[in-house]
Amino acid sequence: MTGPKVGGSKVEGLKVEGRGAASGAAALATDGGNLEPFTFAIFSGLPGVRHGITRRAPGLHRDGDLSFVTGGAGTAVFASRRAWAGRIGIDAGRVVAARQVHGAAVARVTAADRGRGARVIAEAIPDTDSLVTDAPDTPLLLCFADCAPILFHDPARGVVGLAHAGWRGTVADVAGATVRALGEHFGSRPADIRAGIGPAIGPCCYVVGRDVIDGWAALDVAEGAELGRVVRPVAGSAGQWYFDLPLANRLLLERAGLRPEHIEDAGACTACNVEHFFSHRAERGQTGRFAAIIQLTSDEPA
């Protein structure tokens, strides 16, 4: 459906998954003349953290593709990153990124890592799909085109995290691995952690095969009616199922100890909203990448 109300803010032209919109005031502006990131209500009002999820921006190089892998000339990609960074309020030159591999490895980021992957992918943290840090002014950035961005913030400990959850990362429980890493490195309690699940391919569009279903079943997270919400057979198509990637990650976060009210789901399907977000599935692999960014700030008490 179009023109939904999301937490009282009208999201013009953004199609929202039928299972429900964001639980808070996640906002997306559609004015092509301005760079307005998608943001989560669950982080608003919390001091010491800045975040945003970028979108297509026709005024930028390749519609604002922020990946050095798909975006072409590195200088042009960095210029687009710098434009979005200015809007979000971070320093693009300090960005820490990862070479994502659809796994569940979590890397602890320190101030010494600032700039790794900011300008070239070769300098990014290798073979990693989740980043956590307690270092202020050290923005974390990962790229997406259907996979689920998961942003984390523990206001009690003053730490943040960012995970990339495609189906492989989901069945490897990258969400739970990030929660555990926040606890192991910084003493975070799951009950204190807030998480935002960003725009990702929804259960309306994500058709998967037996490998995904078997991987999900092996986690033993859901059963009965709950399982039926995550996995639905495709009518008339044997061996294919609709998979609810955001809901699967919500359940994994809850299993890791997060309170349900501390999890916000954007409720926006990337494949239904290619005018706003890049979608690998909808665009048959010929597309760019948007980015999720989160940072602790030193100019406000964390």
> In this predicted model, what pLDDT tens digit does every residue of 126-151 receive, in sequence order?
999 999 999 999 999 999 999 999 99
Cα dihedral: 200, 206, 210, 214 (round 10): 30
Instruction: Return the minimum-mean-pLDDT range out of 5-14, 228-237, 239-248.
Output: 5-14
Question: What's the whole-number average pLDDT of the chain?
Answer: 89
CA distance 51 to 227: 32
Residue 225, pLDDT above cutoff 90: no
Does 153 map to a domain?
Answer: yes
For residues 98-108, average pLDDT: 98
Does 302 map to a domain?
Answer: no
Spatial neighbors of 238 by CB under 8 A, at least 6 apart, are: none
Does 211 map to a domain?
Answer: no
Residue 176 to residues 3, 81, 161, Cα–Cα distance (Å): 34, 29, 12
Does 231 map to a domain?
Answer: no
- pLDDT score, position 8: 27
Q: Quick one: DSSP state of residue 112?
A: G
| β-bridge partners, 118 | none
| C-alpha radius of gyration, the chain, whole number | 18
Does 78 map to a domain?
Answer: yes
Q: How confident is the model at residue 188 (pLDDT cuts 50, 70, 90)?
A: very high
For residues 171-183, average pLDDT: 98
State the pTM of this model. 0.90
Instruction: Return the minimum-mean-pLDDT range out of 9-23, 57-71, 157-171, 228-242.
Output: 9-23
Residue 264 to residues 24, 136, 227, 272, Cα–Cα distance (Å): 7, 24, 20, 20
> In this predicted model, what pLDDT tens digit does every residue of 269-289 receive, in sequence order?
999 999 999 999 999 989 999
- pLDDT score, position 301: 42
Collapsed DSSP state (helix, strand, coil) of residue 141: strand
Instruction: Return the minimum-mean-pLDDT range out of 25-34, 87-96, 170-179, 203-212.
Output: 25-34
Q: Quick one: DSSP state of residue 62?
A: G
> Which two structure tokens, joined as six digits, stand for 301?
């008490």
- Number of folded domains in the chain? 1
CA distance 54 to 52: 6
Q: How confident is the model at residue 223 (pLDDT cuts 50, 70, 90)?
A: confident
Residue 8 has φ and ψ, to the nearest 5°, of 90, -5
> Which two structure tokens, joined as six digits, stand for 192?
């204190």
Collapsed DSSP state (helix, strand, coil) of residue 215: helix
Does 89 map to a domain?
Answer: yes
> In this predicted model, what pLDDT tens digit does every residue of 10-65 receive, in sequence order?
334 566 664 433 433 344 433 334 799 999 999 988 999 999 999 999 999 999 99
Residue type at 232 in one-letter notation: R
> Which two structure tokens, joined as six digits, stand for 269?
């399907």
CATH of the domain at 200: 3.60.140.10
What is the end-to-end Cα distance of the chain in Å, rounded? 38
- pLDDT score, position 22: 40
Does 56 map to a domain?
Answer: yes
Does 112 map to a domain?
Answer: yes
Buried b (16+ CB within 10 A) or exposed e, 114-135: bbbbbbebebbbeebbbbbbbb
> Which two structure tokens, joined as six digits, stand for 55?
């979108």
Are 64 and 277 in contact by the 8 Å Cβ rule? The answer is no
What share of the chain in percent tops pLDDT 70? 88
> Which two structure tokens, joined as six digits, stand for 35?
């760079």
- pLDDT score, position 18: 46
- pLDDT score, position 45: 84
In which domain, by residue range, is 130 found? 5-206+244-296
Q: How confident is the model at residue 155 (pLDDT cuts 50, 70, 90)?
A: very high
> Which two structure tokens, joined as six digits, stand for 32?
């092509």
